[in-house]
């Protein structure tokens, strides 16, 4: 699809807002219904659940925080856990910002919008951003990301008191939709072979490290899997260059 010109910044913002009706946004909202049930079961008050939805935003980080609370972890331990989970957003911000900024984009606006960068917003934007004129890409991303965040804050507030009545199997299925979507979307949006190799190694090593060090299984799987993928990709490139 070619770039559509002739629209104003407001129109592109509203185009991003309409992304709330897309499959990625609907799947994410379904997963937040499951998260609400998880928070209820953990005894997290409504106000705190709504607050963490907006402030932490990324769903996996909130799950880790609630899990740390359930495990009786100390505040510093919970802080480190959420921080390590959120560090994975840095490469997304680093790759998204050059795609949406212009020479006139203020730094404060990019810093503000970086809060809303999570996997759903990142994948949705990167799949569509090349059809948006560069001068309106910030508006497009802001429209989608801020709407999705606001919608999920409102959703959590509305379903918190009723989600406990859902069958456990249904709540679990809704919650499980997000990792399935994350995996398929990241695989489809990854542009190089090393990324695909890293995902394969990570999926294979995750269960292994969960048995060895369940507190740090995701971290270890990411570091080891990513390192192996880097060297595997280099070996493949070297082999092809010799042939």
What residues have CB less than 8 Å from 103, skipping those under 6 apart? none
**How far apart are the C-alpha atoms of 113 and 106, rounded to whole Å?**
11
- Reduce the DSSP state of residue 101 to 3 states and report it: coil
205, 225 in Cβ contact below 8 A?
A: yes
- The CA-atom distances, in angstroms, between 96 and each of 68, 136, 185 are 30, 14, 16
DSSP class of 164: G
Locate the domains of the chain by residue range. 9-174, 190-238
Q: What is the pLDDT along the chain (243 residues), one digit of tens a residue?
A: 445 555 788 899 999 999 999 888 888 888 888 788 888 878 889 999 999 999 988 887 888 788 778 777 777 877 887 887 788 788 889 889 999 999 999 999 999 999 999 888 888 898 889 899 999 999 999 999 999 999 999 999 998 888 777 777 777 777 676 667 667 766 766 667 888 888 888 889 888 887 887 767 767 887 888 899 889 988 988 888 887
For 21, the token pair is 């009706």
């Amino acid at each position: 699809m070619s770039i559509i010109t002739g629209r104003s910044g407001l129109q592109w913002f509203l185009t991003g807002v309409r992304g709330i009706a897309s499959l990625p946004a609907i799947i994410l909202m379904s997963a937040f219904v499951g998260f609400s049930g998880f928070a209820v079961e953990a005894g997290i008050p409504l106000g705190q659940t709504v607050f963490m939805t907006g402030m932490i935003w990324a769903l996996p980080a909130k799950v880790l925080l609630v899990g740390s609370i359930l495990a009786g972890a100390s505040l510093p331990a919970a802080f480190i856990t959420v921080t390590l989970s959120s560090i994975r957003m840095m490469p997304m911000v680093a790759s998204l910002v050059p795609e949406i900024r212009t020479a006139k984009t203020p730094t404060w606006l990019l810093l503000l919008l970086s809060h809303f960068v999570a996997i759903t917003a990142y994948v949705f934007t990167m799949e569509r951003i090349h059809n948006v004129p560069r001068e309106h890409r910030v508006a497009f991303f802001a429209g989608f990301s801020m709407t999705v965040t606001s919608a999920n804050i409102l959703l959590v507030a509305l379903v918190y008191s009723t989600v406990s009545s859902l069958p456990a199997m249904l709540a679990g299925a809704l919650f499980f939709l997000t990792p399935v979507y994350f995996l398929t979307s990241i695989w489809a949006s990854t542009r190089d072979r090393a990324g695909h190799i890293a995902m394969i190694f990570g999926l294979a090593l995750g269960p292994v490290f969960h048995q060895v060090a369940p507190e740090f299984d995701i971290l270890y799987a990411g570091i080891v899997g990513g390192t192996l993928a880097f060297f595997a990709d280099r070996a493949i490139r070297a082999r092809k260059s010799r042939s």
